[in-house]
């Protein structure tokens, strides 16, 4: 399972289309698109997307390690990815994430912005379909994995939608929100289903729940202490878009993503260093970094810091630089 198959690319259009589409279900997409919506589109939309995404992804990741359905055999399938090959296959969390993010964005914006609903629906369907097809093209999932992931995500969206406003209100107003946002994800991470061998699912789940925990604490703090500065309207781009608006949108994004990436790098170094000192292992020891007592605090603290910085520190910096 650790070997890499040789293959010849015969259609570069499909190859790059589906390799790019597959990236829409990975960290690089989450760490750019989700903050982008918070900085440049609408805070309420971003909050709903992040909550739906975290719930859907946790259920999907846990389901994999409970069901333990294998990925497609290789050969005959040619696998274009290796990192997630150690994970089980059913359901496809790429399909779940793509369905959850694209359709929650559509549902959250359809009553706030004037655009053809048919266009928004088609865009959500096309984006989620591209990600689903990419999992088949790259050889990482069966058709059943992908259909199962998309259907589970759709069912969860239907179940969560009536409670969106209630959850959002509690996140912003409950005095217990910060404690709940930290304790519950940590308990879930430490009690993640155990496997007979190492799989990236626990680490990826910890990253997702950590980022959500940091972001929800940030949402609460902004509402409690900086509501006027972060009401959402001040960070929305104007419609129709003008050149100056595009410049501000890009400036907010690049300033924000730079701060987020620096935070991730800094916190990884600091937390790993402290854990290495505590448990007496060198930073390059991959096996030690995969241990429960190391992986969970390392990834949770790192990505909760990322979520907090993205929702609190970056908007403050935007305001300081006159980018709001």
Active site residues: 94, 141
DSSP tag of 311: I
Structure tokens at 282: 């060198």
Q: How far apart are CA 176 and CA 183, in angstroms?
A: 11
Structure tokens at 232: 């959402």
- φ/ψ of residue 204, rounded to 5: -65, -40
DSSP 170-185: HHHH-TTHHHHHHHHH
Residue 281, CB half-sphere, CA atoms under 13 Å: how many?
16
DSSP tag of 72: P
> What is the b/e burial string over 175-184, where b = at least 16 CB atoms within 10 angstroms of the residue's CB?
eebbebbbee
Residue 236 burial by CB count (10 A; 0-12/13-18/19+): exposed, middle or buried? middle
Cα 99 to the center of its chain, rounded Å = 12
Cβ atoms 235, 252 nearer than 8 A: yes
DSSP 240-287: S--HHHHHHHHHHHHHHHHHHHHHHHHHHHHHHHHHHHHHT--TT-HH
Q: How far apart are CA 122 and CA 117, in angstroms?
A: 9
SS3 assignment, position 92 = coil
Q: How far apart are CA 274 and CA 280, in angstroms?
A: 10
Cβ atoms 235, 255 nearer than 8 A: no
């Amino acid at each position: 399972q650790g070997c890499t198959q040789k293959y010849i690319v015969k259609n570069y259009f499909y190859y790059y289309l589906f390799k790019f589409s597959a990236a829409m279900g990975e960290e690089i997409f989450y760490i750019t698109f989700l903050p982008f919506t918070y900085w440049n589109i609408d805070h309420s939309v971003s909050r709903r997307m992040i909550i739906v995404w975290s719930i859907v992804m946790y259920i999907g990741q846990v389901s994999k390690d409970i069901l333990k359905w294998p990925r497609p055999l290789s050969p005959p399938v040619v696998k274009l990815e290796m990192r997630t090959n150690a994970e089980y296959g059913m359901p496809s969390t790429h399909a779940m994430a793509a369905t959850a993010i694209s359709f929650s964005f559509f549902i959250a914006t359809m009553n706030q912005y004037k655009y053809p609903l048919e266009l928004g629906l088609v865009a959500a369907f096309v984006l989620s379909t591209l990600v689903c097809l990419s999992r088949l093209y790259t050889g990482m999932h069966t058709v059943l994995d992908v259909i199962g992931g998309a259907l589970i995500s759709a069912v969860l969206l239907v179940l969560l939608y009536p409670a969106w406003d209630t959850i959002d209100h509690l996140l912003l107003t409950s005095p217990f929100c910060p404690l709940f946002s930290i304790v519950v994800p940590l308990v879930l991470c430490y009690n993640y289903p155990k496997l007979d061998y190492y799989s990236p699912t626990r680490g990826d789940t910890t990253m997702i729940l950590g980022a959500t925990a940091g972001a929800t604490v940030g949402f609460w703090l902004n509402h409690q202490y900086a509501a006027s500065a972060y009401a959402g309207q001040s960070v929305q781009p104007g419609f129709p878009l003008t050149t100056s608006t595009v410049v501000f949108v890009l400036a907010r994004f690049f300033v924000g993503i730079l701060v987020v990436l620096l935070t991730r790098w800094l916190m990884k170094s600091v937390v790993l260093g402290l854990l290495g000192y505590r448990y007496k292992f060198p930073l390059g020891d991959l096996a030690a970094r995969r241990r429960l007592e190391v992986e969970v605090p390392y990834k949770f603290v790192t990505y909760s810091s990322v979520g907090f910085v993205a929702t609190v520190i970056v908007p403050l910096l935007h305001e300081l630089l006159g980018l709001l």
